[in-house]
Structure 1
Amino acid sequence: MNKGDVQLKEFTNAKILALFLALILVIASGCSSSSSNEETGNTGSSSDDSGSNEETFTITLAHSGPSEGTGIQEALLKLKNEIEEKSDGRIKFELYPNGQLGGEREVLEGVQNGNITATFTTTGVAGNFVPEMEIFDIPFVLESKEQARHAIREGGPVLEKLGPKFEEKGLKLLGFGDEGFRVLSTKDLPVKSVEDLKGLKVRTQESSNHIDAWNALETNPTPIPFPELYTALQQGTVDAQETPFEIIAMSKLYEVQKYAIDMKMVYQYFPIMMNLEFYQSLPDDLKAIVDDCFSEALQNAIAFTDERDEEYVKTLEDNGVEVSEITGEGLKPFREKAQPIVLKNVREKIGDELVDLYLEEASSK
């Protein structure tokens, strides 16, 4: 091979090598761009001239209540459709009722640490996380729904003071609903006086104030998560419990209880709470949709329950439950035994200001 042939061969090899290296650079650049898009979540098509995508969010709401028939569950089913429609699919809503993801306390812990997006609980359980909620544990304060709703009305002083307290605990308070007064139901004893309560095994919420109140009434209180309540009543672990008429009817507790006594001990408010970090991560337009839809859902839940109050009582009576009520002066012995100890506990824990404000608002209606 002469010198010219050698030079031509070297030139050709160099050219092939250069083209090969250029091809590798192009491929590497494409992979890098694809990887960057995956890491930033930009896997969809762009929604505007800037090339950025509208992020989607999933709200997972879990609770311990029945999976059908209650005001709040029916309202949440409607909420799912509305919030997904109004957000044009940017918010997905997943609903897990009936304790599927745990009891009230367990689920609220999940919301606080971000594993679950949102929940509603009884105020007794919420008080374990936000001590100021314990104002609602004070027994025999309220005598009517009108009083109860006035005390916690939207825009009122009590609600305005509670909102920041939730945020301190990593929770966003979206509002309050209610299911009326908690009703004592028993297996064998038609309670008519405070003396009838002595020695009664009562299932209570997981709340020290509720336990103290029932201890003061000389019962044997036992905290049991709601999903385990029916079995506990059936097996005789406890022989009494207290939940609103709606819950007794829809959870079929009438199958293992014979008497229901409306003694207006504690009102069943339920706060709906969301993980604060998740809420703050939402764009402003989605925050507005969340606020509006949840507020409407709570009002729908209250209206649903109110419309069916008599129906729930009739369901109990049709299934052999004797329904009675203790009112007025008849409640005085109960109040004198149970209220002072809880009132003292709550004042010591959170101070007088919010307690006095709540009592004032409750009595002003």
Structure 2
Amino acid sequence: MSSTTAKLMLSVVAATFVTEAAATEWNVSVWGSRRAFTEHIHKIADLVSEKTGGEFTMNISYGGLSKNTENLDGISIGAFEMAQFCAGYHADKNRAITVLELPFIGVSTLEEEVAVSHAVYAHPAVAEEMAQWNARMLMTSPMPQYNIVGTGEPRDELAEFDGMRVRATGGLGKAFTAVGGVPTSVTSSEAYQAMQSGVVDTVAFAQHAHLSFGTINQADWWTANLNPGTVNCPVVVNIDAYESLPDDQRAALDESVDEAIAYYLENYGELLKRWDEVLEEKGVTKVMLSDEELAKFREVAGKPIHDAWLADMNAQGLPAQELYDLVFSTLEKARASN
């Protein structure tokens, strides 16, 4: 073999090694099945692959890597590079963002939910707390106000919530407790079975989850305007994995967040347009609570729970008032810009 041929072969081998070394493959842990709630994750995977010429790819696993309630733990030990979780699954591990799960904070659109979530995620207290789990906030999974589906006679008065067994987590669970409800925090994947077996009378979900997890198929009625709040479900990345990305791949990831969120909002909007048709198809009664009943709910489950959260988080050394005020100032700016 001539020296020229040998050098050429070495160059090819070296180039191949560099190309392979530069390729990045992330594992992403989510749960359930593909649905409106996870569409931004699929979109960001497509975008980063496209922007990097296939050098940065993501394998999205629905329950194959971890339980949904253990995704943050998996991120902390580097079991996978990216994951979705909901704050209410382990409020003690992500205290700062539970401000976004307070009932009756007044968010009325998905766009507003994105604005307040990302503002809170950018607060130093959130970054510091997430860093304890080796996690970095990437984007939110905006959901509309939760409403409940139930069996039996419709509950359209607050007095009828007394003793009601409801699947609800986080701030929503506290809101229902305040009016005599009995919340249980079974996972979303277990909600259908809990409803079917009579463990719960009602389930609080956003529309996509009532469809995806089948609770709408057990329902006799749905509260159209209870709107007590929602849960907050971030998508996070492992800090070590994020920082080890080549500059171009990290830029592709960061720059794709807004595009992925925009796609999610468009897709979810289509689902909301079809919701009334779904109720009609399945014979589910739409329940409208009166303004008087809603006012009672807000009085009992609004400010008192907010005040308790502020006192609790302040006692734990978090800048609770800053985080709380940030939600409302961001909400005001979002509405002014519209």
Letter in 1 for 2:76: Q
Do the aligned partners of residues 333 and 235 (structure 1) sit closer, same or farther apart at CA in structure 2, a change above 3 Å counting?
same
Question: What RMSD in Å do the two structures reach over aligned CA positions?
Answer: 2.7
Structure 1 counterpart of 2:6: none
Question: How many corresponding residue pairs?
Answer: 314
1:73 equivalenced with 2:41 (yes/no): no
User: SS of 1:94's equivalent?
Assistant: strand
Within the candidate set 118, 133, 151, 1:187 is matched to 151
Q: Secondary structure at the match of 1:54?
A: helix
Q: Does residue 46 of structure 2 align to residue 84 of structure 1? A: no
The reply on whether 1:332 has 2:299 as its aligned counterpart is no
1:212 corresponds in structure 2 to: 174
Contact 2:147–2:227, Cα closer than 8 Å, also in 1: yes
Over 3 Å counting, the alpha-carbon distance change for 1:210 and 1:113 in structure 2 is: farther
Quick one: structure 1 residues 291 and 45, their matched pair in 2 at CA, closer, same or farther if it must change by over 3 Å? farther
CA deviation digits over 1:200-249, x for unaligned, max 9?
Answer: 111122x3x44332211201111101111111111111121111112112
What is the CA distance between 1:174 and its match in structure 2? 0.9
Inter-partner Cα distance in structure 2 for 1:221 and 1:310: 29
Q: Partner residue of 1:46?
A: 14
Q: 2 CA distance for matches of 1:103 and 1:202? A: 22
CA distance in 2 between partners of 1:129 and 1:241 (Å): 24
Q: CA deviation at 1:269?
A: 4.0
1:185 shift after superposition: 1.1
Are the counterparts in 2 of residues 58 and 91 from structure 1 also a CA contact under 8 Å?
A: yes
From the superposition, tell whether residues 89 and 341 of structure 1 become closer, same or farther in structure 2 (CA, over 3 Å).
Answer: same
Residue aligning to 2:278: 315
Aligned partner of 1:24 in structure 2 is: none
What's the CA shift for 1:169? Answer: 3.6
Residue type of the alignment partner of 1:58: E
Q: What is the aligned-residue identity percentage?
A: 19
Give the direction of change, closer, same or farther, for the CA distance of 1:54–1:184 in structure 2 (3 Å limit). Answer: same
User: Where in structure 2 are there 5+ consecutive unaligned residues?
Assistant: 1-11
Q: Partner amino acid for 2:30?
A: H
Distance in 1 (CA, whole Å) between partners of 2:192 and 2:110 is 31
Quote the residue 1:199 is aligned against: 163
1:358 alignment partner in structure 2? 327
Q: Secondary structure at the match of 1:270?
A: coil
Structure 2 CA distance for aligned equivalents of residues 236 and 116 of structure 1: 36
Where does 1:1-365 land on structure 2 (aligned, <5 Å)?
45-47=13-15, 54-67=21-34, 70-97=35-62, 99-125=63-89, 127-142=91-106, 144-145=108-109, 148-149=112-113, 151-152=115-116, 156=119, 158-161=120-123, 164-165=127-128, 166-205=130-169, 207=170, 209-262=171-224, 263-326=226-289, 328-347=291-310, 348-349=312-313, 350=318, 351-363=320-332, 365=335
Q: Aligned AA for 2:161?
A: L
CA drift of 1:191 comes to 2.2
Distance 1:134 1:153, change over 3 A: closer
- TM-score (structure 1 length as normaliser): 0.77
Amino acid of the structure 2 residue aligned with 1:331: L
SS in 1 for 2:233: strand
Question: For the Cα contact (< 8 Å) 2:29–2:65, is it kept in 1?
Answer: yes
Q: Indicate the SS of the match to 1:247.
A: helix
1:286/1:55 CA distance change after superposition, 3 Å: same
**Larger Rg: 1 or 2?**
1
Change (3 A) 1:76 1:361: closer
Displacement of 1:140 after TM fit?
A: 1.2
Q: Contact 1:121–1:272 at 8 Å: present in 2 too?
A: yes
TM-score when normalising by structure 2? 0.83
Does the 8 A contact of 1:213 with 1:341 survive in 2? no
Alpha carbons 1:63, 1:96 under 8 Å: kept: yes
